[in-house]
Amino acid sequence: MKNRLRDLRSANQWSQAELAERLEVSRQTINAIETGKYDPSLPLAFAIARLFGQSIEAIFHPDA
């Protein structure tokens, strides 16, 4: 699954560690999501969407 997490984070000028702290996850989790190596659970995807004030579909979208 592709996502715009890195772009959104950069737009807010947050480091991975800052974003991780806001979402209460590890920095490694943020990095894994940004690089597409890990797809977040639905609760975490909702938390990300809520943090950036966007819908899940606007941030995450399937490959293809």
Binding site for another protein (CB under 8 A): 20, 24-29, 31-32, 37-38, 40-41, 44
Q: What is the 8-class DSSP label of residue 25?
A: S
Residue 19 Cβ vs another protein, minimum distance, rounded to whole Å: 12
Q: Provide the β-strand partners of residue 3.
A: 60
d(CA 19, CA 11): 12
Minimum CB distance to another protein smaller for 6 or for 31: 31
Residue 29 Cβ vs another protein, minimum distance, rounded to whole Å: 4
Question: What are the structure tokens assigned to 13, written together?
Answer: 């000028």
Q: How far is CA 36 from the centre of its chain?
A: 10
Residue 38 Cβ vs another protein, minimum distance, rounded to whole Å: 6
